[in-house]
Amino acid sequence: MATKIITISRQFGSGGRTIGKRVAEELGFDYYDSEIIDHVAGETGFSRDYVAANSEYAPGKSVFSYSFEAASAPGVMNGMTTADYLYSVQRKVILDIANKNKPCVIVGRCADHILREFDGVLNVFVYADIEWRAKRVVEVYGESDVKPLKRVSDKDKKRAANYKHFTDCEWGRADNYDLCLNSGFIGIDKCVDIIKEVSALK
């Protein structure tokens, strides 16, 4: 079956978003990244900035940070914590996108797990050496008060905790994906080419 949906999971600073957008453009697929944030913000009433900051990241660097949140504000949204409510709406948005039956690329947000029962899905994980990513983060996003290596490490830990909490799977573990690409080693352009080639085979 031809690939209809490509999900891109990625380490912070690896260029996964850039790769996903280029793949979508070159294949003529729809592209969903910040568009999902807009949909979730509209459905929940949360600000766009709040959704962007919390839709892929745990409150802390450990999965236990969700327990602390639940203890401090239990059952705030129809009996769910704010994090669980946000995820439930995000999950619905991703399923709605998939059910449109239009070829698309979806970046992040546990889409690989959410769509695990769908046919024609290619799940990709993009990673790279942490020093390469730290350098790229400064080049792309600029300096911040946090040192680049710590910035990258903290983001990765919060993404991993978020993924573990909502999927009970290990973020970045190779056997969770169809294709894992080291963007720092083979380059952004080659990652795009490989994903396009594999999507034609799957």
- The reported pTM is 0.89
Residue 71 pLDDT? 46
Amino acid at 130: I
Domains of the chain, first to last:
5-201 (3.40.50.300)
Better pLDDT: 130 or 78: 130
Tokens of 130: 């942490």
Contact call for residues 66 and 165 (beta carbons, < 8 A): yes
Give the sheet arrangement for strand 30-32, strand by strand: 30-32, 104-107, 5-10, 121-127, 179-182
Residue 146 pLDDT? 86
Query: What is the crossing angle of helices 82-99 and 34-44, to 10°?
Result: 120
**CB under 8 Å to 104, separation ≥6 — which residues?**
4, 5, 6, 24, 29, 30, 31, 32, 97, 98
Mean pLDDT computed over 75-88: 77
Tokens of 167: 């999927």
User: For the segment 20-77, what is each residue's pLDDT rounded down to a tens digit?
Assistant: 999 999 999 999 998 999 999 998 888 999 898 888 887 777 775 766 554 455 455 5
